[in-house]
Amino acid sequence: MDQSFKVQKIPLLTTAIGLLWLKTYIVYKTSFDIKIENWRQEFILFINPLSFLLLIFGVALFIGRRRNQFILAVSFLLSFILFANIVFFRFFNDFLTLPVLFQASNMSDLGSSVHELLNWTDLLYFLDFFLLLAMVHYWPDLLQENQPYPKATRRFYYLTAFAVTFFSLGISEAERPQLLTRTFDREILVKNIGTYHYHVYDLILQTKSSAQRALADGSKLVDIENYVHSKQTEPAESLFGRYKGKNVIYVSMESLQAFPIGAKMNGQEVTPFLNDFIEESYYFNHFYHQTGQGKTSDAEFITENSLYPIGRGAVYFTNSQNTFRATPEILKDEGYYSAVFHANDRTFWNRDIIYENFGYDEFFDVASYTVNNDNSVNWGLKDIDFFNQSMPMLKSLPEPFFAKFITLTNHFPFTLDEEDMMIDLYDSDSKTLNRYFPAVRYMDEALKLFVEDLKKSGLYDRTVIVLYGDHYGISENHNAEMARYLGKEITPFESTQLQRVPLIIHLPGQKEGKTLSNVSGQIDLRPTVMHLLGIDTTNHIQLGTDLFSPNRMNMAILRDGSFITDEYVYTKETCYSKMTGSPIETNACEPYAEKAKMELDYSDRIIYGDLLRFYE
């Protein structure tokens, strides 16, 4: 028998790289909704994980005795990063950023939401790591010994790694010029440079943004001031100052999109109260949410500051100590007392800090309410109980007041107790969409009872009431089921249209409603309310315009760089006709695209540079 035959041993290093490369590509195709338009993009998507994996695992070439432990540690860490993005993407249809990770203090409150997003089959995402672990601990004889690699081998390895990296970046830049300037479009970044390089780039951006404040000075406000003044329009003469000295109530309607308004499900009205309330109020049916990763907190920030949220993380966390000139502070100069009502922990989304910074006089948090198992569900106190318990506190406020209510019940995963189900579950393959309609119906009932209480207390006729949806409730991950409900394909055009949220403004004494089809967004709410109260906003740094102004430009810019006008919708690098919903020549959208990019950039400069500290 030939005794010279030897079993070829397996190198753990290349095995780990190969398995993680394959797993990452499979995740791209199965767990992320990454749009691929041609074979070049598919090839880029396939190859982009490899360059990072070669670079990071290559450190093992310089390690001797503990090489295997290093490879296992890196494999687990990268698998965990990939899995964290998978879970985040399941609900937010977005990728993690470093600022979001800094918001880990929120995790203790996420509870049922996180549980809903996890499944025992998720262990399969770590299958390659478990295989490597078994090889090291149970089949070490199969592995090559941890001998030092020759210098020539290390040199060749890293020349190959850098060659793959530059090749990957080169073809990505050729496919998508100015790739690294599109930091607001994380899908494009991940598609072209990969998940792992994207997180490295995100770290660089975080460092850069942190340095912006230190390097900022007042001169950086000049261009922004000029732009703001160029946008300003005259308010409607018939409404300016007409409600001076009246109370103002904002209600942030959790996860309420516009599509349930006026709709029926199984023959039952989803929002019977809001449908009636619109008949005696102003209703804006082309009003878009403009939130980013901060969701509800972003909606609060936008509506009270008339600035866009940041593209990475949430202003409430990353820039809570900035100088702002928010609605409560402005109204304080007009003699208003301001308060927030929210039956959640005061530290959630850093609200205890940011509300003080915004100038609120009082914050009624969960400690102000009686919360128990009977009156709470999902994220906490049920909306009906929330409004009921809030009324005595609201009536105790000195007038005029500015009060904001943040609802909770219509929050993912949209669970309800049986006794609160006022309409049946929808029947589809999406549990989330099925539960959404009853949760919306419950919130609608809570709002009805709240408005009835306002009428009984006498506050109704001396209060401007603003009801707005804060952000989407049904993400793009449920497009197939949404298509069935709406009876049409959910294209990127339709998906952008689904970012509409309701805005209802009821004015004291108003008996007859009117639906306005102004294309607008949450950024326009503050100047609108200020003008109703007779407050001159000429010298305010704000990017929104009065919704009642006859000369305003109808345009809504979304945080991801998409925008909507009277004629066009631009999203996913495609220009659509608003009338037909079909793609058209991109040059039709180019003038607006430049405006959208500039406006988002100006807002980012204000926030990252804390520029309002220089403004008088």
Cis peptide before 400 (omega within 30 of 0): yes
Active-site annotation holds for 296: yes
From the list 235, 219, 300, 304, the residue with the least C-alpha distance to 471 is 300
205, 193 contact by CB (below 8 A) = no
Q: Which residues pair with 339 in a beta bridge?
A: 362, 403
Q: Which residues pair with 10 in a beta bridge?
A: 143
From the list 473, 445, 477, 545, the residue with the least C-alpha distance to 299 is 473
Q: What is the DSSP string of 319-364?
A: TTTS----HHHHHHTTT-EEEEE--S-TTGGGHHHHHHHHT-SEEE
How far is C-alpha 450 from the geometric centre of its chain's CA atoms? 28
Supply the DSSP symbol for 496. Answer: H
- State phi, psi for 111 to the nearest 5 degrees: 40, -105
Q: How many CB atoms lie within 10 A of CB 26?
A: 11
14, 134 contact by CB (below 8 A) = no
Q: Who contacts 103 (Cβ-Cβ below 8 Å, separation ≥6)?
A: 313, 314, 317, 349
How far is C-alpha 302 from the geometric centre of its chain's CA atoms? 12
Catalytic-labelled residue, pool 97, 195, 271, 296: 296
606, 540 contact by CB (below 8 A) = no
User: In what helix (H) or strand (E) does residue 437 lie, and over which residues does it extend?
Assistant: helix 431-457
Alpha carbon distance 188, 442 (integer Å): 38
Q: What is the DSSP string of 90-102?
A: HHHSS---HHHHT
Catalytic residues: 296
